[in-house]
Amino acid sequence: MRNGEVAQVFYDIADLIEMTEGDRFRPIAYRRAAREIEAMPEDIEKLWRQGGVDRLRQVPGVGQAIAEKIDQYLREGKVDALEKLQKEFPKGLVAVMRLRGLGPKRASVLWKALGITDIADLKRAAENRQIRRLKGFGEKTEQKILDAIKLHEEGQSRTLIAVAWPIGEEILAFMRDHARIDRAAIAGSARRMREAVGDLDLLVTSPEPVAAIRVFTTMPRVKEVVLAGETKATVILDSRLQADIRVLDPGSWGAGLQYFTGNKDHNIHLRTMAQSRGWKLDEYGIFEGERKIAGETEEGIYAAFGLPWIPPELREENGEIEAAAKGALPRLVELKEIRGDFHVHTNRSDGVDPIEAMVQAAVDLGYEYVGISDHSQSLVVANGLSPDALRMHRARIRAVNREFEGKIAVLAGTECDILEGGALDYPDDVLKELDYTVASVHSKFTLSEEEQTERVVKAIQNPFVNIYAHPTTRLIGSRDPIEIDLEAVMEAAAATGTAIEVNAYPNRMDLNGPNARMAKEKGCILAVDTDSHAHGQLGNMRFGVGTARRGWLGPEDVVNAWPLDRVRAFFR
Ligand code: DGT
Ligand code: CA
Ligand code: CA
Ligand code: ZN
């Protein structure tokens, strides 16, 4: 299926149009079509063969102009409009434009004045102090550019969990199909559900280790074999992600799983405990002299120390071993306890799918309820709704709710922008007609900490606001958190019965685990939401739950683990 390839053409066109500083709505239209093509289950090439341009035009978001470009791409493997744009701008300049604080205008100045065509050029120029000499840039901007490059490089060196985890599962499924594999698991930071991972650590047991390693190093996705031994190997995949594998002896499965899950500090703590008992702990087991005390199961490793099994998400050396020793580990929320999702966009604002498709995806996940929260009017780039449009949308949501009666409850909400001074983007009499309101910041990211905190606290104090979403607005690898006093925000939320969000959109993961734990300690209730913009994204809930678990949250702490009547009472 070539849907991904075709979608990429339109993502590229959208990026390059932004460089031209042309019509700001055209990139939105191209990206919408790209997301639609990416998400659709049918093979776009097949549709095209069946019915040509006319059939393509039936794809949501695809009009005549886009359909003709798809047609050309599938016939000739190229699109004139894209080639024309690519002639106008060097390819690497798009990445420069995307750096924090740059944008199309400045990227274009850097290119024209200094011949900068990619991030490597930019870094060199900044280090050689060439940028400060440009009109309108200065020394401070030069430093900011270096900071932005650093943030970008960090983002590049780690892979989002929502990307890495499915690749890990795919590899293990491939191994099971092509080698004799008894047990298999994803370990490392992915098992601990870190929001981004440095590499994938995979563990298997097999009666034929050498054959298993050969299957691993010759998988279709492998771009480079870094190391291939008899029981371990390291490869680089086509996505540039590194994957390590170890074939363990069945008698050491638990010890290996524990060791390679980490994190390192957690392991060092356990090893110190072993030493003080006169034992040795390594990836093969716990040993007293020659005698093996434990190793076959992970539970057995912890039990040898008199500890209950510690969930991987807690293994960060943040007091989990002490809590386990006291019998005070929290009972963590589980994915199967999640009953709904409150942050869901449809094609009425910047999502790709109609309400029905989003609701059906929620039904397929076994949810009891789902809330629709499209963007508010000020967020023009996301096609935010005017009050009248929101009223009509609400009526549509109510109709869909009736359609799905008996299967799921559909709540009508909004993701309402918090304006500069803390006012909301809709008046109260519009908000009061909804079942709930999600409020969030999408503008003025650079306010001082004081102003930003005041703004958000004021919004949280609005009685109609039920959830404060993606609280720090950070984007992993591209935008730092806003400067905000999170403790003050959490105190305001706890005092007003406003939930704080753990947003599971892959590059947000906001709040993260430690901040979610702080929110709980401040007395807040949390909402774990996916911020889905396509039906397939509702499944990112598992990573949101992983993050909630990293925050030591139990089902009582998570509003969408509660039954609907209790949710309604909380929202009221
Ligand atoms: P990452 O890949 O940077 O996201 O983080 P991890 O935690 O997956 O780290 P990685 O891949 O280097 O190693 C996987 C696990 O193996 C790690 O969490 C703990 C264990 N490990 C690796 N090196 C050492 C070590 O030198 N000592 C100990 N005790 N454990 C180690
Ligand atoms: Ca790793
Ligand atoms: Ca590793
Ligand atoms: Zn949103």
Q: Would the pLDDT of 407 be above 80?
A: yes
By most ligand atoms within 8 Å of CB, the mutation choice from 227, 241, 267, 313 for ligand 1 is 267
**How many Å lie between the centroid of ligand 1 and the Cα of residue 312?**
13
Say yes or no: CB of residue 258 within 6 Å of ligand 1: no
What is the Cα–Cα distance from 169 to 191, expressed in whole angstroms?
A: 12
Name every residue whose Cβ is closer than 8 Å to that of residue 29 and which is 6 or more positions away in sequence. Answer: 61, 63, 66
For atom 5 of ligand 1, which residue has the closest CA? 189
How much is the pTM?
0.84
Q: What does the pLDDT average to over 440-463?
A: 96
* Reported confidence tier of residue 512, pLDDT bands at 50, 70, 90: very high
Residues 346 and 465 in one domain: yes
329 falls within a domain? no
At 447, the pLDDT band (50, 70, 90 cuts) reads very high
pLDDT confidence bin for 89, thresholds 50/70/90: confident
Ligand 3 centroid to Cα of residue 258, in Å, is 14
Residue 169 zone, left/alpha/beta (φ > 0; ψ -120 to 50; rest): alpha
Regarding whether 433 and 370 lie in a shared domain, the answer is: yes
Dihedral of alpha carbons 336, 339, 342, 344, sign: positive
Three-class secondary structure assignment of 287-320 = EECCEEEECCCHHHHHHHCCCCCCCHHHCCCCCH
Determine the average pLDDT of the residues in 103-127. 91
Three-state DSSP at 268 gives: helix
Whole-number Å distance, alpha carbon 425 to ligand 4 midpoint, is 14
Whether residue 228 sits in one domain with residue 141:
no
Query: What pLDDT is recorded for position 495?
Result: 98
Residue 421 shares a structural domain with residue 369: yes
CATH number at residue 101: 1.10.150.110
Check if 188 has its Cβ closer than 6 Å to any atom of ligand 1: yes
pLDDT at position 153, please? Answer: 84
Whether the bond into 511 is cis, omega within 30 of 0: yes
Looking at the CA of residue 199, tell me the nearest atom of ligand 1.
2
Nearest residue (by CA) to ligand 1, atom 14, is 188
Domain membership of residue 320 (yes or no) is no
Angle at 77 between CA 72 and CA 83, to 5 degrees: 80
- How many domains are contained in the chain? 4
Return the H-helix or E-strand segment holding 217: helix 209-217
Q: What is the per-residue pLDDT across 205-231, written as a single tens digit (0 to 9) for each?
A: 999 999 999 999 999 989 999 999 999
Confidence of residue 381 (pLDDT cuts 50, 70, 90): confident
pLDDT for position 25: 79
Average pLDDT, integer, range 547-553: 98
Query: Which residue is closest in CA terms to ligand 1's atom 3?
Result: 198
Domain limit, last residue, from 194, 216, 248: 248
Amino acid at the residue 136:
G
Last residue in a domain, options 129, 156, 183: 156
Ion ligand 4 nearby residues (CB, 5 A): 415, 531
Tell me the C-alpha distance between 22 and 27, whole Å: 9
Residue with tokens 């990619």: 118
Do 452 and 370 sit in the same domain of this protein? yes
> Residue 263 pLDDT more than 90?
yes
Cα–Cα nearest to 535, from 380, 417, 361: 361
Residue 316 near ligand 1, beta carbon < 6 Å: no
Q: Which amino acid is at 163?
A: V
* 292 shares a domain with 222: no
pLDDT of residue 380: 83
The number of C-alpha atoms within 13 Å of 559 and in the hemisphere containing its C-beta is 28
Q: Tell me the pLDDT band of 409, cut-offs 50, 70 and 90.
A: very high
Which pLDDT score, from 0 to 100, does residue 103 have?
83
Considering the domain architecture, whether residues 276 and 373 belong to the same structural domain is answered as no
Q: pLDDT band for position 234 (50/70/90)?
A: very high
Q: Is the CB of 260 under 6 A from ligand 1?
A: yes
What Å distances lie between residue 362 and 15, 407, 505, CA to CA?
32, 10, 16
* Same-domain pairing of 427 and 494: yes
- Same domain for 483 and 399? yes
Q: What is the pLDDT of residue 561?
A: 98
Give the relative orientation of helices 387-403 and 355-364 as an angle to the nearest 10 degrees. Answer: 40
Q: Is residue 326 part of a domain?
A: no
Indicate if the pLDDT at residue 290 is higher than 90: yes
Note the helical H segments in 282-342. 298-304, 320-325
- The answer as to whether 525 is a domain residue is yes
| Residue predicted with more confidence, 240 or 330 | 330
pLDDT at 541 over 80: yes
Q: What residues make up the domain containing 92?
A: 3-156
Q: Give the mean pLDDT of the chain.
A: 94
The pLDDT assigned to 456 comes to 98
pLDDT in tens, 301-324: 999 999 999 999 999 999 999 999
Residue 442's pLDDT band, with cuts at 50, 70 and 90, is: very high
Q: Is the pLDDT of residue 484 over 90?
A: yes
Q: Please report which ligand is nearest the Cα atom of 192.
A: 1
Q: What is the CATH number of the domain that holds 301?
A: 3.30.210.10
Any domain includes 301: yes
Mean pLDDT of 388-404: 97
Q: Is there a single domain that holds both residue 244 and residue 260?
A: no
Are 476 and 387 in the same domain? yes
The answer to whether 163 and 540 are in contact (CB under 8 A) is no
Q: Is the distance from the beta carbon of residue 263 to the nearest atom of ligand 1 less than 6 Å? A: yes
Q: How far apart are CA 363 and CA 77, in angstroms?
A: 39
> Which band of pLDDT confidence, cut at 50, 70 and 90, is reported for residue 10?
very high
Over residues 135-180, the pLDDT tens digits come to 889 999 999 999 999 888 877 789 999 999 999 999 999 999 999 9
Q: Cα–Cα distance between 166 and 286 in angstroms, integer?
A: 32
Q: Is the CB of 264 under 6 A from ligand 1?
A: yes
Ligand 1 mean position to 313 CA, how many Å? 14
295, 310, 325 - which closes a domain: 310
Tell me which residue of 523, 464, 529 sits closest to 501, measured CA to CA: 529
pLDDT at 62: 93
Residue 325 lies in a domain: no
Q: What is the CATH number of the domain that holds 419?
A: 3.20.20.140
CATH classification of the domain holding 188: 3.30.460.10
Helix axes 513-521, 541-550, angle to 10 degrees: 60
Rounded to 5 degrees, what angle do the CA atoms 388, 390, 393 make?
115
Q: Which of 67-71, 134-138, 288-292, 335-339 has the lowest mean pLDDT?
A: 134-138
What pLDDT does residue 354 have? 94
